[in-house]
Each structure stands twice: as structure tokens, then as C-alpha cells.
């Protein structure tokens, strides 16, 4: 359900449409960046970043970890969600309350109510790393949106169409920006262009991306 006007008094709730049901929320997470990074430090202490391996045997350039009931993993067996960290054999760290709250509020600001994420994939980008165009198809329920939070260096988000060959829009995402997409846009191809080394005052030559999904 779309909710125009609901957040008109909140300057952080500006919406920029990049699709019929896809929006950039500039600076939406900015005021909570310190809280998010504090939560991430606790997650990383329990489940360190690692470079997962594709089913074809290639190490991914982007380092990853997870929190929440389910975590996204990749290995020679394929792509999937798992309740257990394969690196430790233990459940993934609990999703910090600040993470879940921000994800729900961002989804609502973009017109999606009742979003309760059960998975948060954390990607760490460094200069030169990229994420190829792909669809998020490993989740059970495509009716739920995806919420993506950017922290650190500015990145170029690639938002394509429903075919891999469709030319993607290039969207600059700064520290604190949030992207939400769902509905008819849920299965659009998306990725991240190679990261340029433009250090951020807080995170230096790193970009952190928190991606929230309803996976189970």
C-alpha cells in the first residue's frame, strides 16, 4: 500500500522513485549511522567477514557476513539461506534491534507495510570491488520488499530491468542513503559498479551495505 504524505513532516523521508515500486530514501539512515555501526561491530565479533565462494569455485571480491535467524551463504553446493554460520557452526548473531527497526521504518516510508526481516546480509566493499548484476531469487516470498542501507564511501548502484541485458540506471548512493524495492520491481536485476577510492570521514576506504530481506 502506498502512503503519500504520511512522512511529509520528516525531512529524512524524501522519496526518489527509480521504478514504479522502487525508491531511494536519501539520508534516511544518517541519524542512526553510529548506532548501526555499533551493532555491526557486535555482529562482526561473532561472525567475522569472509569471502564466500561461488558454486563455480571463485572467491567473491566483496566480503560478507550475516545476522538474524537466516543468513545468505554461497559455496560449491549453491546459493541459499542457512540458520547456521558455516564458518563457526553456530547460529548467526541476532539481528540488532536498531537494524530491524530501521528496515521496518524504511519499508513503510517506501509504501510497504508489514515488513519484518528475518535476514540481514552485510557486504563490505573496498576500492575496486563490485557486485555483478543479479536477481534476488533465493527467498521464499517475493511479495516482501528488499531494504538496502549504504554506509561509508559513495557507491554507484546499478538498477536494471527484468532481463539481464536491460541497461541499468546508475544511482549514486551516499552514506546513510537507503534503497527499497518490491512489488513489480522486486525481481529487477541490480548490482554495484566498481567502487572508486573516495574515502569517507568515518569509514575511510570502505563501504558497508546492509541488505534486509524476508527469506523464510
- Where in the chain are the domains? 11-213
Is pLDDT above 50 for 126? yes
How far apart, in whole angstroms, are the C-alpha atoms of residue 182 and residue 155? 21
Q: Among positive and negative, which fits the CA dihedral 98, 15, 175, 58?
A: positive
Mean pLDDT of 66-75: 97
Chain-centroid distance, C-alpha 169: 17
How far apart, in whole angstroms, are the C-alpha atoms of residue 85 and residue 76? 15
At residue 1, the pLDDT reads 34
* CATH class label, 11-213: mainly beta
**Quick one: pLDDT band at residue 100, thresholds 50, 70, 90?**
very high
Residue pair 152/202 in contact by the 8 Å Cβ criterion: yes
pTM, two decimals, is 0.93
**Quick one: pLDDT band at residue 121, thresholds 50, 70, 90?**
very high
At residue 13, the pLDDT reads 58
Amino acid at each position: 500500500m502506498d502512503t503519500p504524505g504520511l512522512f511529509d513532516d520528516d525531512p529524512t523521508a524524501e522519496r526518489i522513485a527509480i521504478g514504479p515500486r522502487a525508491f531511494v530514501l536519501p539520508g534516511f539512515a544518517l541519524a542512526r549511522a553510529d548506532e548501526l555501526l555499533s551493532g555491526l561491530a557486535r555482529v562482526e565479533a561473532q561472525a567475522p567477514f569472509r569471502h564466500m565462494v561461488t558454486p563455480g569455485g571463485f572467491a567473491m571480491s566483496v566480503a560478507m557476513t550475516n545476522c538474524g535467524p537466516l543468513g545468505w551463504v554461497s559455496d560449491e553446493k549453491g546459493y541459499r539461506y542457512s540458520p547456521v554460520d558455516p564458518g563457526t557452526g553456530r547460529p548467526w548473531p541476532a539481528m540488532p534491534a536498531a537494524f530491524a527497526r530501521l528496515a521496518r521504518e524504511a519499508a513503510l516510508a517506501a509504501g510497504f507495510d508489514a515488513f519484518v526481516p528475518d535476514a540481514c546480509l552485510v557486504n563490505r566493499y573496498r576500492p575496486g570491488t563490485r557486485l555483478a548484476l543479479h536477481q534476488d531469487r533465493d527467498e521464499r516470498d517475493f511479495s516482501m520488499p528488499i531494504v538496502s542501507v549504504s554506509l561509508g564511501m559513495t557507491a554507484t548502484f546499478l538498477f536494471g530491468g527484468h532481463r539481464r541485458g536491460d541497461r541499468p540506471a546508475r544511482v549514486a548512493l551516499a552514506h546513510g542513503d537507503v534503497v527499497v524495492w518490491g512489488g513489480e520491481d522486486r525481481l529487477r536485476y541490480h548490482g554495484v559498479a566498481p567502487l572508486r577510492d573516495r574515502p569517507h570521514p568515518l569509514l575511510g576506504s570502505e563501504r558497508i551495505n546492509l541488505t534486509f530481506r524476508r527469506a523464510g
